[in-house]
Amino acid sequence: MLTYPKIDPVFLKLGPFELRWYALAYIAGILLGVGSIRKTLIQQYGFTHDDIWDFLSYLVVGVLFGGRLGYILFYDLAYYAKHGSEVFAVWHGGMSFHGGALGCLFAIILFCKRTRKPVLGVLDQVALASPLALFLGRITNFINGELYGRVTTVSWGMVFPMGGPLPRHPSQLYEAGLEGFVLFIILWLFSRSKNKKEGQILAVFMGVYGVIRIGIECLRQPDSQLGFFYGFLTMGQMLSIIMVFSGILIFHSHPTAYKKWTLWLCRDPR
């Protein structure tokens, strides 16, 4: 068994003000992610420097609002229905990847519609940059000692402060490696394909992330307030199954459908 490294989840404290690693990961993930695709957005999709900053603000609002709303709706609606004052208490935790992804999707669509940018191409670039943010987010889940795995006998199991006395899978680290490094390598290799169509990098992201998440959920402790659905499925797995099938649908859509979607969403200037 490995010893869980107790790292203070507070990165900086100045009087009543606290900056947590979790919040820092969100900020860094979005800034570094957009920074990594900034050149492509400017050169290939006609972004100006002002567009980049506007785009960042859209992403921040979309991820935070969608992540929080997704957690409330998907994972703990009964609690927040009774404790309405806790809805905005994000410092107490409670963010959903799938909700954040949907919020990000709608934010990008709104931005592209306003600026008349090609939505599928922009979505492809954001998908390509997302593994960095996912990696940072999972590392801070580990620092917080949350979203830990199920009880295990493997030699690298850890006793988490909030997980009881038995060793558990460090599932946050599994996710950091698979959703961060492995997913990025797959997306990067696919992005170099000469035969890809707009929207297919997004589709590969959805499909591969969904498969990874479905597999990791087999080792991750389900949320105590939800448990299992149908005796064996977690909420994360059900949402990821929808994500996988959506990715397959997008990937195999006819090019004409891409054009129709783009025209409908933001009137592609091309």
- What is the domain range of residue 86? 10-266
Q: How many CA atoms lie within 13 A of 221 on its CB side?
A: 21
User: Does a structural domain hold residue 122?
Assistant: yes
pLDDT at 254: 60
Q: What is the mean pLDDT of each run of 10 residues along the chain (270 residues)?
A: 88 83 89 94 94 95 91 86 76 80 95 91 95 94 93 95 93 96 96 90 96 96 87 93 94 66 52
The distance from CA 32 to its chain's CA centroid, rounded to whole angstroms, is: 14
User: Does a structural domain hold residue 169?
Assistant: yes
pLDDT at 219: 95
Question: How many distinct structural domains can be found in the chain?
Answer: 1
pLDDT at 52: 96
User: Does a structural domain hold residue 4?
Assistant: no
User: Does a structural domain hold residue 5?
Assistant: no
User: Does a structural domain hold residue 118?
Assistant: yes
pTM for the model stands at 0.89
User: Does a structural domain hold residue 50?
Assistant: yes
pLDDT at 23: 85
